[in-house]
Amino acid sequence: MTVARVEVAKTLKLYINGAFPRSESGRTIAVKDAKGRVVAHASHASRKDLRDAVEAANAAQPKWAAATAYNRGQVLYRVAEMLEARRGEFITLITSIEGRSSADAAREVDHAIDRAVCFAGWTDKIAAVLGGKQPVAGPYFVFTMPEATGTVAVVVPDRTPLLSMLSLMLPALAAGNAVIVIAPMSNTPLAAALGEALATSDVPAGIVNILTGVRAELAPWIASHRDIAAISGAFLSEKDAMALELGCAENLKRVQIFRDAPAFEDDAFWHSPFVMTPFIELKTVWHPSAL
């Protein structure tokens, strides 16, 4: 008897600096589908993978921040285009791995794509909304402008993994930061698929890095890494939140753990400019305006 066609299973890897390496540690995690069958093995990112991602992110970030806001907007819009193209794949992964209905999955994927469109439109409006010209009491021309903070570690909760990843990474990206996404373990194939979508978009290598790993294991290393400028997270365990918040005491990392925020489905909150402010530095520039 002949064997029916064997499906070509995907090797799930990390996404670092625009490439797809395996974890340097050689570790993997079995990926089970909703029925408990092992369907693949995902890379289990280590501290050294984190270090590689930080290096890549910091090397790429200044150019991304220096790109025009219009350009960053188009690049993020291209992300939405790439996500839309893979809509079916995302839905399939959500239903097969998480056991949710395809209608639920579709709703999440659509919301994630629409969020990318929203932030594509934010890039060239941040300065108008958060910056300004100050009417100081003296002969000076003074203005305040937003700038990126640097490299942001984005620690994603397990719920609605695609929407979570995008909701947390887009605000940092729109503001000109590079991100290292610690993807939720609830759906590692989805994280890998997002990496592939981004690799085929116009996001420069190193600006988005995606690590599949254990949050509790990576959190202390994220907190203590001196080349990470900020941390973003939401709906984490208090233990993980605390470990990450200690990063502030290390090198004054800007740490924003959304605890009491509304769910990611809430556009009023998650599309507001104030999800970007923790990853924005304000620079105030003075110049005499009288001789």
Partner 1 sequence: MTIAPFEYAPAPESVRPLLAPSYGLFIGGEFVPARSGKSFATINPATEEAIAQVADAGEADVARAVEAARKALPAWSKTKPAERAKLLFRVARRLQERSRELAVLESMNCGKPIRESRDEDLPLVVQHFFHHAGWCDKLAYAFAGASAAPVGVCAQIIPWNFPLLMAAWKLAPALACGNTCILKPAETTPMTALILAEVLQECGMPNGVVNVLTGGPLTGRALVARAGKGPSKGIDKIAFTGSTEVGKAIARACAGTGTKLTLELGGKSPNIVFADAALDQAVEGVVSGIWFNQGEVCCAGSRLFVEESIHDDFIERLKNRMKTLRVGNPLDKNTDVGAINSRAQLQTIERYIEAGTAEGAECFTVPCALPAKGFWCAPRMFTGVQPSHTIAREEIFGPVLSVMTFRTPDEAVQRANNTTYGLSAGVWTEKGARALEMANRLSAGVVWLNTFNRFDASAPFGGYRESGFGREGGRQGLLSYVSLGHGAASSTKAPSVVKSVKRSTSAKSVTAAKSASTAKRSTKNKGAKR
Residues at the site binding partner 1, with contacts judged by CB under 8 A: 98, 100-101, 103-104, 107-108, 129-130, 132, 134-138, 140, 142, 144, 159-160, 229, 235, 238, 241-242, 245-246, 248-252, 254, 259-266, 268-269, 272-274, 277, 281-288
Cβ closer to partner 1: 13 or 254? 254
Cβ closer to partner 1: 39 or 106? 106
Distance CA 121, CA 167 (A): 14
CB of 8 vs partner 1, minimal distance in Å:
30
Task: Quickly count: other Cβ atoms within 10 Å of residue 38's Cβ.
Answer: 9
CB of 138 vs partner 1, minimal distance in Å:
7
CB of 2 vs partner 1, minimal distance in Å:
39
Cβ closer to partner 1: 26 or 36? 36
Task: Quickly count: other Cβ atoms within 10 Å of residue 279's Cβ.
Answer: 27
The one-letter amino acid at 89: E
Distance CA 138, CA 146 (A): 23
CB of 193 vs partner 1, minimal distance in Å:
19
Distance CA 254, CA 252 (A): 6
CB of 152 vs partner 1, minimal distance in Å:
14
Task: Quickly count: other Cβ atoms within 10 Å of residue 76's Cβ.
Answer: 23
Cβ closer to partner 1: 26 or 135? 135
Q: Assess contact for 148 and 279: CB atoms under 8 A.
A: yes
Cβ closer to partner 1: 36 or 288? 288
> Virtual CA dihedral for 129, 230, 163, 22, nearest 10 degrees?
140
Residues 6+ apart with CB under 8 A from 92: 105
